[in-house]
Structure 1
Amino acid sequence: MKITILVSLFPPKWLAGTEIATYYMAGHLAQRGHEVHVITSWDEDLPKESYEKDFYIHRLPRVRVRFVGAFIFWADIVRTIQKISPDIVHVQSLGIAFPAVISKKILRIPYVVWGQGSDVYLPDWFTKLTSKTIIKNADVAIALTSNMKEAMKNIYNRNMAVVPNGIELEGYIDKSPMQKVKCREKIVLFVGRLHPIKGVRYLLLAMQILHEEMPDTRLILVGDGEERNYLEELTDRLEMRGWVDFVGKVPHQRIPDYMCKADIFVLPSLSESFGIVNIEAMAFGLPVVATRVGGLPDIIEEGVNGYLVEAKKPDQIAHKLLILLQNNTIMEEISINNIRKAEMFTWDKVTETIEGIYLDCLNNRPCRIRNEAKARLRHTE
């Protein structure tokens, strides 16, 4: 099968959840014998056409002129889709889906759209304007969680699939949590953008409360962003510099180096679609304390995988951290639960589900298109 994936941004420069998920999904689809083409925006110093990890990448320049630049970019995407002539277009986010609608109308190529988070919960004005048309015309609409499914159905009520993002366990298996060196100092870890939506300021306030009860705790913040200066200033004002580490942005492949040293993972977001970083933490057996927002309750069962707290409540975060850090039995039980649960989210399993969605989608297309796609699939086998 020939598959085209649309995504606004892509590694190596961009390493947020959607970008990393797209990278691994493309690679696993290619490993399953499909011809995969990723269409994304061009980043300086990167080739506009490349072949990496068994799939093709087409990086298209964006003209930085409001409105006009977007339309030129979409037109380039449609032309690239026409050139590739795929069996199906997979769109990673409502925000970049409009070219798929156009290619379906003009080129008769079916498309699948997968809601990824802010495009559903915090859309920009144009996504708000077009999302109903995008979801309505998609051959299949997918949500990451049941919560997101309901949010997407509020935009346009139709049948939808729920498929979570996956995790690449390869970098985690050889760093077993059982190999962690036990030490007196307890480490609380956050990994993500230092952006107001991530709620890190409330984690800092929680750590101040926790530190009064347990002075042998340290907070490690992995990531960078526009709120970093404010957070560092807040850390100084709270006199916490001695036990709060700002690591900054690190390559995704180095995240396991920090997770294998941690005791607990915290995600204090004000809004979160799925939070694949939670699953990555679970793969290390880390209990998770996260906010009860978006799709996080779909991942974290209270007392089984960790604890859920209300957003903007540092006292609740501190309380749950204290429960975990003062009870080794609870920590060990949750650790075992989380290692097992992480295995349910491997990219092998997720990609197999996505592949099935593609085939079901093509089976509902006109015979000529369906037969051509099946012939290509037989050729790859």
Structure 2
Amino acid sequence: MIKERGTSKQRMMIFHPALAPYRIDQFNLLNERVDLEVVFLMEELSDFTMDQKKLRDACQFKISFLLNGLHYKRRLFRFGILRKIRESNPDIVMGFEYSLTTQYLIMLKKTGVIKQKIGTFVDDSLDICNNVQSTLRKWVRNRLVKQLDFMVVMSGEVAAFYRDHLKMDEKRLIVSPILQLPERLRKEVATIESFASRYVEAYGLRGKKIVLFVGRFVPEKALPQFLKNIAPLLQSRDDVRLVLVGEGKEREQIAEVVKEKKIEEKVILPGKYQSEELYGWYASASGFILPSLSETFGAVVNEALIFGLRVFCSRYAGAASLITPENGVVFNPLDSRDTCVKFQQYITNLEAVGNISLEKKPSLMEDLRLSFLREWRKII
């Protein structure tokens, strides 16, 4: 459902790569404060295949597309950006990261072609801020932060980095983590519990401590090394199972490690799932892991907490900022001893899977709506 444009609210236009489920609630809440139009530059994310109609039906903001232009590897630029801005005449325009789109928006403003406030979303974790991927990216970052009217970052730690190291004013920094609402993700209780019950029976999970991973099987997730680190513990315990939900180019390597370490009965690779079928895996688990060596944020941590799962989270993930002693453990995936010792402690506090009940697994996710509104008041 698209809200009618009002006359009292400011207008905002966001240019964004593609619609992802973890952006929906954030954009919907933003639409309550401004008349929001999100212009997507791809029909869907290249790394993810999702039911786009279902995702769009959950959006309460205006959606449009710019699909003609240049696209090379992970870089893209679309023709028609200036035309879209002139047609809608928004008060605020946003790009993403330090992309060509963001650079183009700044150029338009510097040359006087447009007058709007210009901002961007930067999803970098603190580790990525400190260890920039390339000299070129660092140069672009350091130049753009001086020219942006504002920047949206994922955590207070990242905001402090830009404030202390790049001298950005507090008023130009909006701290706005990935925001997903429990009432949306957990809405279809009966369906989610039904899927979860099927998984428990199909994979023999009852009475076991089920530790879940959800994501792509790619090098930055560091799953092969994590499996090698915890293999002795898995071998010694019959009450723990690791469920790795997803797919990717490292699947074969993961399977080889599982075979080499003789933990075939302890590791389950069920494939890729989405929507309520995916949420069924959260509902059937005891805990959640994210062992990434590099992770901008890690929206799956948000989802796991929403489904009441304590999280074993890499210190290199931006989502580590969400972890407290009450809802999880932060560890160093590059330190095998730290990984093993903390994982042993972590699983000790997990409960074995029994009868499926979402009611008995309330959300562990802090409600970020008030802080969201407070931060965005800096510009709207």
TM-score (norm 1): 0.75
Of 61, 64, 77, 2:68 maps to: 61
1:163 aligned onto 2:176: yes
In 1, Cα distance between equivalents of 2:362 and 2:102: 35
Q: Secondary structure at the match of 2:151?
A: strand
Decide whether the 8 Å contact of 2:66 with 2:78 is kept in 1. no
Decide whether the 8 Å contact of 1:267 with 1:289 is kept in 2. yes
Q: Secondary structure at the match of 1:262?
A: coil
Of 200, 207, 228, 2:223 maps to: 200
Pair 1:33–1:66, CA change in 2 (3 A): closer
Of 90, 112, 124, 2:119 maps to: 112
Decide whether the 8 Å contact of 1:165 with 1:350 is kept in 2. no
**Deviation of 1:256 (Å):** 1.6
1:6 aligned onto 2:15: yes
Deviations 1:316-341 (A, max 9, x none): 33333332333469x9xxx99x9565
Q: Secondary structure at the match of 2:66?
A: strand
Of 56, 75, 80, 1:76 maps to: 80
Of 119, 132, 155, 1:145 maps to: 155
Decide whether the 8 Å contact of 1:40 with 1:59 is kept in 2. yes
Decide whether the 8 Å contact of 1:221 with 1:246 is kept in 2. yes
Q: Secondary structure at the match of 1:308?
A: strand
In 2, Cα distance between equivalents of 1:232 and 1:357: 49
Q: Give the structure with the larger helix fraction.
A: 1
Pair 1:340–1:41, CA change in 2 (3 A): closer
In 2, Cα distance between equivalents of 1:57 and 1:123: 31
Q: Secondary structure at the match of 2:379?
A: helix
2:103 aligns with: 98
In 2, Cα distance between equivalents of 1:112 and 1:74: 18
In 2, Cα distance between equivalents of 1:266 and 1:66: 29
1:209 aligned onto 2:232: yes
In 1, Cα distance between equivalents of 2:82 and 2:135: 22
In 2, Cα distance between equivalents of 1:161 and 1:205: 39
1:356 aligned onto 2:377: yes
How many residue pairs end up in the alignment? 337
**Deviation of 1:342 (Å):** 0.8
Deviations 1:226-247 (A, max 9, x none): 2222222222222222332223
Q: Report the aligned-residue RMSD.
A: 3.7
Decide whether the 8 Å contact of 2:302 with 2:319 is kept in 1. no
Q: Secondary structure at the match of 2:233?
A: helix
Q: Secondary structure at the match of 2:270?
A: strand
In 2, Cα distance between equivalents of 1:33 and 1:109: 15
My pick for the range that moved more, 145-154 or 250-259, is: 145-154
Q: Secondary structure at the match of 1:242?
A: coil
Please, which runs of 5 or more residues in structure 1 have no aligned partner?
A: 12-18, 360-381
In 1, Cα distance between equivalents of 2:245 and 2:350: 25
Decide whether the 8 Å contact of 2:246 with 2:273 is kept in 1. yes
**Deviation of 1:257 (Å):** 1.0
Q: Secondary structure at the match of 2:269?
A: strand
**Deviation of 1:187 (Å):** 0.7
Q: Secondary structure at the match of 2:207?
A: coil
Of 129, 134, 139, 2:144 maps to: 134
Pair 1:220–1:61, CA change in 2 (3 A): farther
Q: Secondary structure at the match of 2:378?
A: helix
Decide whether the 8 Å contact of 1:187 with 1:264 is kept in 2. yes
2:29 aligns with: 28
Q: Which amino acid aligns with 2:185?
A: G
Of 242, 257, 262, 1:234 maps to: 257
In 1, Cα distance between equivalents of 2:29 and 2:332: 36
1:375 aligns with: none
Pair 1:354–1:42, CA change in 2 (3 A): farther
Q: Which amino acid aligns with 1:128?
A: K
**Deviation of 1:197 (Å):** 1.2
Decide whether the 8 Å contact of 1:146 with 1:295 is kept in 2. no
Q: Which amino acid aligns with 1:29?
A: L
1:326 aligned onto 2:344: no
Of 292, 303, 306, 1:283 maps to: 306
**Deviation of 1:355 (Å):** 4.3
Decide whether the 8 Å contact of 2:228 with 2:257 is kept in 1. no
Q: Which amino acid aligns with 1:164?
A: P
Q: Which amino acid aligns with 2:31?
A: A
1:378 aligns with: none
Q: Which amino acid aligns with 1:306?
A: G
Pair 1:191–1:239, CA change in 2 (3 A): same
Please, which runs of 5 or more residues in structure 2 have no aligned partner?
A: 1-9, 198-204
Deviations 1:190-232 (A, max 9, x none): 1122111112123312441222331222111122222222222
Q: Secondary structure at the match of 1:358?
A: coil
Decide whether the 8 Å contact of 2:97 with 2:122 is kept in 1. yes
Of 176, 185, 188, 2:211 maps to: 188
**Deviation of 1:107 (Å):** 0.7
